[in-house]
Chain A
Amino acid sequence: MGAVVLAVGGLTVGATAAAAEAADDGPVRVATVDEMIDRLRDDPILVQPSMGMGDSALAHDVLTEAASGAELPVYVVLAQMPEELADGERPGEQVAVLLRDELGDGVYHVEFLGESSYTGVWGAPDEYDFRDAYIALRNAEENGPGEYPRASALFEAAVVAHAAASPGQELPQSVVDDYASRPWAFIPESTTSMADAKATRWVATLATVIGVLIAGIIVTLGVVRAKPLKTKAGVPARRSAHETVPEQMADRARKRLASARRRFEALPGTELTADPGEKAARAIDAAERVLDTGDELDAVGAYVLALIADREVDRVKRPERPAFRPCFINPLHGESHDTVRVGGSSIDAPVCSTCGRQQGAFLSVRKGIRGWAPYVETDTVWAWTGYGALVGDLADQVLADRGVRR
């Protein structure tokens, strides 16, 4: 009978249906191949303590159960290599052949301590294919515990034995998962000693506490002791790159608007319908819409609209007065009396006298970590109207803008 050996790269498992009564009281002692053969005649599963993942009796039971129901006898040897094979090559294969000669056809899985495993099938080799078993084993390793999970010889033998017991059938994933969850499935990795791990915990805690304390003290002292920013003596102070919206801007706008409204309401009824009167009414209406939004630029806008309304009330009786146009650079500078070519622009923008002599910094708002941004770079009605510096119908544009947006 042509013996066909099915060599599976790596390790293998065998199982026998004739589940002989497991071992004696103590661990299995076999020093030679002959002793191994004698032992396997009584019990097809042979596991020594050095290969039993902590409990060779348990390993024996696991393998016996895995191989139960097999048509061909399944033999598994997980043992130390007999000294007589020490100088030979592929001792697992050698022993499998010797075992088959003595014990007959069957599935033989042999792995010696420190050596590669070998699985051979004699009797019906075409029906046996352990590739799926090894693929399942590799997948289990990939999902195994630890940094470099490596399946134990016992885990491998159990998977192969199970596959040998049901040739031609797909190995159930639940079986592999069950094996993988056992404490003997993977080779334990080197672990940090408990004393070292506890000391490391103290080091991490101490380092963090001390580090945060030192960093915090450095920052706190640095911030507290930092002097206000100044220019060097004798050097003209550079103008600030931005001007901020003053605090309580909304209150200022509210007072100014109340004043404008009182003057507007004091106008005779016939004058309310005049063009300046209507403009004043729209400016007051627009100011009221943006006054309490909580936005800094809106508060400035309400203030400017109040000034516009105030001027329009004036213009009811003195129509020769020009409409109010604020300084384009910063409407809080007041009315524009001059013009200046703002960098990057092709038109002259109306500005206050001061900015006409030397352009000041734009009214700006905070933009998160990017710092200050000029109001003309914001996406607001104030940016494209210049708070009325660039258009003559600020109130209408604000009412249209807020009518659309809200």
Chain B
Amino acid sequence: MKRLIIGLIVTLVCAGIGGAAAWWVASSGLPAEVDTTTERARLAADGLSESHVYVDPSVEGMFSDEQIARIDEAANTSDPEVFVVVWPESRQAGYGPSSDVLRQIGRLLDRPGVYVQVSPGDALDSVDVGIDGEYFSIYESPAEEWSSSRETTLLLDKIAENDGREYELGEDTGSDYWGGTAGTIGAGALIGSFGGGLVGTIALVGWFIMRRRRAGV
């Protein structure tokens, strides 16, 4: 009984220390909290202040006025709202993936909704800003030959798909990668159970082997 109690106490202490160490190590891998806003985001936010579509001057003419008007109207009436940024994708503009700059735009505008990037020749991309809603992806592989009519149709379809989906205002703090809170807990429990079971079994077998060896049996 004494050995059992000692073993359990040691186990609890080790679990506490291990958990603290894991938390500490994982904390060092957290990305830095950045609230920088890049120039491109400011320009787009200015353009979106009175419209739901911003077209960078360098790609003016890629969409016709009629196409822009249709996209603007659909984006405006969609629930949640959609904000469309049309520009060439760039890795030299001070941000990482396009979701970063879309979030910057959303923060600047302070208008919850779906922020969409349209880059001629590249796939559509989007991110929810200020809303926590059911899963929605606008991603579509780019066509071999880009055309504004195909892009407009695709964009309108996606906006229609977005319209009416369930959402709540507020930033989504759940992890898409781990599948929300339940997925996070489940993953931790599953990995811990399998890992701990395996390590515990190996340790016990090793102990038995050493015991027999030392005893000379």
Task: Spell out A's residues near B (CB within 8 Å).
Answer: 27, 29, 31, 48-57, 78, 80, 113-114, 152-154, 183-184, 187-224, 226, 229, 231, 238, 240-242, 361, 369, 371-372
How near does chain A come to B61, taking the closest CB pair, in angstroms? 9
Interface centre among B40, B87, B88, by most A CB within 10 Å?
A: B40
User: Given A210-B188, A229-B215, A50 and B3 touching (CB < 8 A)?
Assistant: no
When chains A and B are docked, how far (Å) is the Cα of A278 from the Cα of B38?
A: 98
User: Given A49-B39, A194-B31, A218-B200, A184 and B94 touching (CB < 8 A)?
Assistant: yes
A242, B216: Cβ atoms closer than 8 Å? yes
Residue of A57, A114, A188 touching B95 (CB-CB under 8 A): A188
| Residues of B with C-beta under 8 A to A187 | 91-92
B216, A154: Cβ atoms closer than 8 Å? no
B172, A52: Cβ atoms closer than 8 Å? no
When chains A and B are docked, how far (Å) is the Cα of A353 from the Cα of B56?
A: 103
B204, A49: Cβ atoms closer than 8 Å? no
When chains A and B are docked, how far (Å) is the Cα of A176 from the Cα of B7?
A: 58
Among residues of B, the one whose C-beta sits closest to the C-beta of A79 is B58
B176, A196: Cβ atoms closer than 8 Å? yes
B90, A51: Cβ atoms closer than 8 Å? yes
B26, A113: Cβ atoms closer than 8 Å? no
How near does chain A come to B92, taking the closest CB pair, in angstroms? 5
Tell me which of B16-24, B74-82, B140-148, B159-167 binds A: B16-24
When chains A and B are docked, how far (Å) is the Cα of A213 from the Cα of B8?
A: 9
Tell me which of B64-72, B107-115, B150-158, B190-198 binds A: B190-198
| Residues of B with C-beta under 8 A to A80 | 58, 88
B169 at the interface (CB under 8 A from A): no
How near does chain B come to A96, taking the closest CB pair, in angstroms? 19
When chains A and B are docked, how far (Å) is the Cα of A31 from the Cα of B62?
A: 13
| Residues of B with C-beta under 8 A to A372 | 214, 216
| Residues of A with C-beta under 8 A to B216 | 238, 240-242, 361, 372
When chains A and B are docked, how far (Å) is the Cα of A188 from the Cα of B100?
A: 10
B96, A188: Cβ atoms closer than 8 Å? yes
B187, A203: Cβ atoms closer than 8 Å? yes
Residue of B31, B38, B56, B174 touching A54 (CB-CB under 8 A): B38
B94, A55: Cβ atoms closer than 8 Å? yes
User: Given A50-B93, A188-B96, A361-B216, A194 and B30 touching (CB < 8 A)?
Assistant: yes
When chains A and B are docked, how far (Å) is the Cα of A193 from the Cα of B103?
A: 11
When chains A and B are docked, how far (Å) is the Cα of A33 from the Cα of B93?
A: 22
How near does chain A come to B89, taking the closest CB pair, in angstroms? 9
B139 at the interface (CB under 8 A from A): no
A195, B176: Cβ atoms closer than 8 Å? yes
A53, B189: Cβ atoms closer than 8 Å? no
How near does chain A come to B22, taking the closest CB pair, in angstroms? 4
A207, B177: Cβ atoms closer than 8 Å? no
When chains A and B are docked, how far (Å) is the Cα of A188 from the Cα of B32?
A: 12
How near does chain A come to B116, taking the closest CB pair, in angstroms? 18
A-B contact pairs, 9 of them (CB 8 A): A113-B92, A114-B88, A198-B175, A206-B184, A209-B18, A213-B15, A217-B8, A240-B215, A361-B216
B192, A206: Cβ atoms closer than 8 Å? yes
| Residues of B with C-beta under 8 A to A201 | 22-23, 26-27, 29-30
Residue of A27, A219, A242 touching B200 (CB-CB under 8 A): A219
When chains A and B are docked, how far (Å) is the Cα of A51 from the Cα of B16?
A: 49
| Residues of B with C-beta under 8 A to A211 | 18, 191-193, 195-196, 199
How near does chain A come to B170, taking the closest CB pair, in angstroms? 13
| Residues of A with C-beta under 8 A to B15 | 208-209, 212-213, 216
Contacts of B101-130 to chain A: CB distance below 8 A: none
A224, B3: Cβ atoms closer than 8 Å? yes
Nearest 5 CB-CB pairs, A to B?
A54-B94, A206-B188, A216-B11, A241-B216, A210-B192
When chains A and B are docked, how far (Å) is the Cα of A27 from the Cα of B41?
A: 13
A212, B196: Cβ atoms closer than 8 Å? yes
When chains A and B are docked, how far (Å) is the Cα of A180 from the Cα of B92?
A: 15
User: Given A56-B39, A209-B18, A241-B216, A229 and B211 touching (CB < 8 A)?
Assistant: yes
B40, A199: Cβ atoms closer than 8 Å? no
When chains A and B are docked, how far (Å) is the Cα of A79 from the Cα of B92?
A: 10
When chains A and B are docked, how far (Å) is the Cα of A57 from the Cα of B38?
A: 12
When chains A and B are docked, how far (Å) is the Cα of A214 from the Cα of B190?
A: 12
A207, B22: Cβ atoms closer than 8 Å? yes
| Residues of B with C-beta under 8 A to A31 | 57-58
When chains A and B are docked, how far (Å) is the Cα of A200 from the Cα of B26?
A: 7
A52, B4: Cβ atoms closer than 8 Å? no
| Residues of A with C-beta under 8 A to B203 | 215, 218-219
B7, A224: Cβ atoms closer than 8 Å? yes
Residue of B14, B87, B173, B197 touching A50 (CB-CB under 8 A): B87
